[in-house]
Amino acid sequence: MSRTTPSDEFPQLPQELVNTIIDHLLDDIPSLRSCSLVCRTWREHAQESIFHKQRFYVSGGPQGDLHKFRILLRMSPHLGALVKAIELYAIGWVPSTPLPPNPQLETATPEVLPLLPKLQTFSLKVTQDKVWDQIVGAPVAEACKSILRTTFLTDIHLSGMRFDLYSDFICLLSDIVAVRELNISAIIIKKYDVAKRVDRRHLRLTSLHMNLAPALLKVFTQWFLSDESRFDISEIGKLTVLSTPKSTLTCREALENILKRIEAGAITSLGLQNILSGPLSAFASLRNLQTITLLTKSLFPSKSIAWLAQDIMEGNFHAVREFYVHLEISPFQDNVPTNNDCHVVDSIASTCCDVKVCVVLLC
């Protein structure tokens, strides 16, 4: 009688085939979890997909998901190296009676970060007033300082944060150490004061996304381009500048001023609103531009899409391969595309550019 090993009794698929199957299940995390639990062959590659991005919600309970995740990392330290991105949301129901400060919750995020040696992206989104303050018991900016000072973060997303003073916001950005991609949106400033630079270190950005109220967009852009700023934007490859729909002039000036400071040919991806008053090629060299994203609430008729189409068809943007139009409309909005608008879109598509129009109906 021949002697068999466990591997002989349970034939194993080639690891390459297993990895291919897992790659096709990336959108089915429950199945990946199940497979990784019952089969060691699946475990390593499946865990890379499961733990690559983690999302947590700040809640009133002392033992929320973030705490459970911290416990898991302490029990299985090797999992920390698989996490590349964390999204932290302070949303949901706000108790009418403020909760007492919760020191466990307040320190959860800073304690988790040292356990993630390969973390690259950190996102914080506050979507309700005072959610963070009432639950955590500390200003959100204070809790972020230790996070932004970590040397391994290269991509930061900050949304919905409130600051009493404009200088507090600038001071927070001064805590950034190694970030190359900066995404800020829906930042609220109660009072504008003079913001002075805290240090003289330079950070060279490769990606910038701004979606700010007109007043903040104007002031922040001026600071961003001044000698007081610590950011070097000359080599930015991805740029998006957005504001409220009625702030056409402010948003256009911000976009133009930033583009003029970026080296010719550096931009490969551009996001903007329906704000153009003329061809982009008139004030910026975008010869390597590959992707254009136009966000608007009133596309038809659109002067911006006409100017962009002119640049594309005249060869000024010869490298453009993708043109996205993101249109948000109200059910009460009497605004439908005309034959001329459709002709412009068809003309762009005829240049071998992939045109996609996404329509979002606002309820």
Residue 317: count of CB within 10 angstroms of its CB: 26
37-46, 287-296, 333-342, 349-358: range with lowest mean pLDDT: 333-342
Residue matched to tokens 């403020």: 98
| Residue 210 DSSP code | E
Report the pLDDT value the prediction gives residue 123, as an integer from 0 to 100. Answer: 87
Find the mean pLDDT for residues 206-217: 95
Give the chain's mean pLDDT: 75
Report the pLDDT value the prediction gives residue 103, as an integer from 0 to 100. Answer: 43
Report the pLDDT value the prediction gives residue 106, as an integer from 0 to 100. Answer: 44
Question: Tell me: the pLDDT tens digits for 104-126?
Answer: 444 455 577 778 888 899 888 87
Report the pLDDT value the prediction gives residue 156, as an integer from 0 to 100. Answer: 92
What phi and psi values does residue 158 have, to the nearest 5 degrees?
A: -125, 125
Give the residue with greater pLDDT, 155 vs 135: 155
Is residue 214 over pLDDT 90? yes
Strands (E), the chain: 53-57, 85-90, 121-126, 155-159, 162-165, 181-185, 188-191, 203-204, 207-211, 231-232, 238-242, 269-273, 291-296, 322-329, 354-361
CB 99 within 8 A of CB 141: no
98 within a domain of the structure (yes/no): no
Q: How confident is the model at residue 34 (pLDDT cuts 50, 70, 90)?
A: low
314 within a domain of the structure (yes/no): yes
Whether omega before 301 lies within 30 degrees of 0, making that bond cis, reads: yes
| Count, residues in the chain | 363
Q: How confident is the model at residue 18 (pLDDT cuts 50, 70, 90)?
A: low
Q: Tokens standing for 312?
A: 């594309």
105 within a domain of the structure (yes/no): no
Is residue 208 over pLDDT 70? yes
228 within a domain of the structure (yes/no): no
Q: Tokens standing for 111?
A: 């304690």
Helix pair 40-51, 29-38: axis angle to 10 deg = 150
User: What is the distance of C-alpha 4 from the center of its chain?
Assistant: 53
306 within a domain of the structure (yes/no): yes
Report the pLDDT value the prediction gives residue 353, as an integer from 0 to 100. Answer: 73
Find the mean pLDDT for residues 84-100: 60
What phi and psi values does residue 184 have, to the nearest 5 degrees?
A: -130, 135
Distance in angstroms (rounded) separating the CA atoms of residues 197 and 202: 11
Query: What is the CB-side half-sphere exposure of residue 3 using CA atoms within 13 A?
Result: 0
Find the mean pLDDT for residues 351-356: 70
270 within a domain of the structure (yes/no): yes
SS3 string of 174-206? Answer: CCCCCCCEEEEECCEEEECCCCCCCCCCCEECC
Is residue 266 over pLDDT 70? yes
Report the pLDDT value the prediction gives residue 102, as an integer from 0 to 100. Answer: 46
Question: Tell me: the pLDDT tens digits for 271-308?
Answer: 998 888 888 888 888 889 999 998 877 655 567 878 88
Q: Which residues span the domain enclosing 281?
A: 264-363
Give the residue with greater pLDDT, 155 vs 327: 155
List, in sequence order, every residue forming a beta bridge with 241; answer none if it has no partner: 210
Is residue 166 over pLDDT 50? yes
List, in sequence order, every residue forming a beta bridge with 162; answer none if it has no partner: 188
Report the pLDDT value the prediction gives residue 67, as an integer from 0 to 100. Answer: 72
Distance in angstroms (rounded) separating the CA atoms of residues 202 and 189: 25
CA distances from 18 to 45, 82, 300 (A): 8, 19, 49
The candidate with the shortest Cα–Cα distance to 65, out of 51, 54, 76, is 54
The candidate with the shortest Cα–Cα distance to 114, out of 156, 86, 155, is 86
| Residue 100 DSSP code | P
Distance in angstroms (rounded) separating the CA atoms of residues 222 and 80: 40
Burial of 347 (0-12, 13-18, 19+ CB in 10 A): middle
User: How many folded domains does the chain comprise?
Assistant: 2
Q: Tokens standing for 251?
A: 């948003």
List, in sequence order, every residue forming a beta bridge with 329; answer none if it has no partner: 361
The candidate with the shortest Cα–Cα distance to 187, out of 208, 215, 207, is 215
Q: Tokens standing for 4?
A: 């068999």
Find the mean pLDDT for residues 251-268: 92
14 within a domain of the structure (yes/no): yes
Question: Tell me: the pLDDT tens digits for 229-255?
Answer: 889 999 999 999 999 877 888 999 999
26 within a domain of the structure (yes/no): yes
Distance in angstroms (rounded) separating the CA atoms of residues 191 and 40: 56
Q: Classify 23 as helix, strand or coil.
A: helix
